[in-house]
Amino acid sequence: MPDPSDFSREPEKPLFVLLDRLGLPYRTSVHVPVFTVAESSLVKTAIPGGHTKNLFMKDKKGQLVLISAHAESQLPLNQVHRELGTQRLSFTDAPVLWDALGVTPGSVTAFGLINDPDTRVKFVADEALLAFETVNFHPLRNDMTVSIATPDFLAFVEATGHTLQRVDFTKLGPG
């Protein structure tokens, strides 16, 4: 787990080392920091592929859940827990986010799974996102975007020891 005092010191480096070690090609774009999906719309026009929104949540029993969805997908959060087999989900606070994924609010990313070696976090991906040939995530900081082929992203998830649960959010109905 990274040290919070080291956050500004290139937190993406261990991720890039792992992707390189696994032989998974990726492309990195540097841009202004973006904290929300709306802000990211200003930079994503120059970056092809599926863009993401990432939600880090927990249920009453403490089950941690990371949801990576297509930026345009509607997520019926009042129904997702049934599909996932958890209790109702709520957003976590910054200390829990840091402890579990080694990122700060505004930088939530599926690449944070690299910092969860005990696989405490249940990982959920949107079918609409996985339908893209290329997916885009922050590399543990919100002033960069990493573009990676979807099969290579799935290989990254597997390499972290996590199981990916696929969910078609369009079949859950409106929130």
pLDDT digits (tens, 9 = 90+) for 130-149: 999 999 999 999 899 999 99
The pLDDT score that the predictor gives to residue 17 is 97
Identify whether 10 is part of a domain.
Answer: no
Tokens of 108: 């939530």
Tally of domains in the chain: 1
Residue 157 lies in a domain: yes
Q: For residue 50, what is the domain's CATH number? A: 3.90.960.10
**What pLDDT is attached to residue 7?**
45
For residues 112 and 103, give the distance between their C-alpha atoms in angstroms, rounded to a whole number: 7
**Residue 143 in domain:** yes
Q: Is residue 11 part of a domain?
A: no
The amino acid sitting at 103 is: V
**Low pLDDT (below 50) residues in the chain:** 1-7
Both tokens of 164, joined, read 């990916």
| 111 inside domain | yes
Integer-rounded Cα radius of gyration of the chain = 15
Parent domain of 139: 19-170
In a domain, 137, yes or no: yes
What is 96-165 written as a DSSP string? Answer: HHHHHHS--TT---GGGGGG-TT--EEEEEEHHHHTSSEEEE-SSSTTEEEEEEHHHHHHHHHHTTPPEE
Residue 1 lies inside a defined structural domain of this protein:
no
